[in-house]
Amino acid sequence: MPLKEIVRRIMLKKLLKPLPWVFSGWFIVALIVRLSVKDRLPILSIVYYASPVVLLAVLAATAGVGWMAKRRRRLAALSLVAAGACLVWWWQVSFFAAPDRSDPADLRIVYWNTCRDVLGWDGKIETIKRHDPHLIALAEVSDDWDIWEAAFPDYTATDAGGGTMLLCKGKGTITQSTHGPLGEFGYYRRARVQIGSTELIVLMVDVISDPRLSRRAAIERILALAEADRSKPMLILGDFNTPADSVHFDLLRDRQFSGAFESHGQGYAATWPVPIPVVQIDHVWASRHVEITRCRHLWSSKSDHRPVLVNIRR
């Protein structure tokens, strides 16, 4: 065997040797954070956001394989048992089967972070049309009005300021539409939507993905924007870049908002990143004046986010 190949194998062996310890240590730290402080502390929240439950299962399984290669049978067995437990945990928190209370007369609302013009607009437009929504809320859209006017000629649309847009079907109206920055935390659009006899205040948000920024502060800013309309039917929806089990969503629950998917969801919860979503960061929150009857996360290969479809009782 050539000397160069011998050296390469020795170096590779040295690099692989500590990997079971690395994966085991990562798993233990991430598990402790997830079971204790979660994302309450800004620094540890980075660990929390980067380690969804399914990743814990992968870390434990990888460590188990490494321990088996080292003939450390007890550590291998312990790691594989931990991986199995995390898979069960992931299944329980990721798949929902709420009763379907929807009716054909319900309002259908689609929210989708379309990932700009990556992969083109045609497939995204066809996905939306397939569900014939009364209201469409889009994030990361093009400023080219011609695309949307041509695709949805029977809809009233807002401008695409800040990359967000609302489209309301038929004789529905969109008024008092405003948009602007969420301070350093992202962007928002607020509008009053009237569809028949149903009036909704829609607050669409796009929280930036920087894990170093406090999600608590972002949600507090969102609630401050919503405060003036607390007594009205309201939806707060968007890409929160925050997992569903974040402690900071308790701020919304304390104001009597309910998560559409956690209360009426059907199917797999994770919305990002497509094609293998592992975390739910796209959410719809409804005030107590709104009756959600069904919520589904749709499948599409035309964005790195899954569309969210919500049914509301008129």
Residue 151's CB is within 10 A of a number of other CB atoms, namely 16
Mean pLDDT of 100-106: 95
User: What integer pLDDT is reported at residue 116 of this predicted model?
Assistant: 87
Whole-model pTM: value is 0.92
User: What integer pLDDT is reported at residue 1 of this predicted model?
Assistant: 54
295 neighbors 285 (Cβ within 8 angstroms): no
From 62, 80, 95, give the residue that closes a domain: 95
DSSP string of 279-306, one letter each residue: B--EEEEE-TT--EEEEEE---SSSSS-
| Average predicted confidence (pLDDT) for the chain | 92
User: What integer pLDDT is reported at residue 6 of this predicted model?
Assistant: 47
The pLDDT-based confidence of 69 (bands split at 50, 70, 90) is: confident
The range of the structural domain enclosing residue 16 comes to 3-95
Tell me, yes or no, whether 74 and 47 share the same domain: yes
Tell me, yes or no, whether 114 and 191 share the same domain: yes
Tell me, yes or no, whether 191 and 208 share the same domain: yes
More confident: 228 or 93: 93
From 68, 95, 122, give the residue that closes a domain: 95
How far apart are alpha carbons 244 and 283 in whole angstroms?
8
User: What integer pLDDT is reported at residue 11 of this predicted model?
Assistant: 45
213-253 pLDDT tens trace = 889 999 999 999 999 898 999 999 999 999 999 999 999 99
User: What integer pLDDT is reported at residue 7 of this predicted model?
Assistant: 40
Q: Which residues contact 310 (CB under 8 A, 6 or more apart)?
A: 108, 109, 110, 111, 235, 237, 260, 284, 292, 294, 295
Amino acid at 276: I
122-139 pLDDT tens trace = 999 999 999 999 999 999
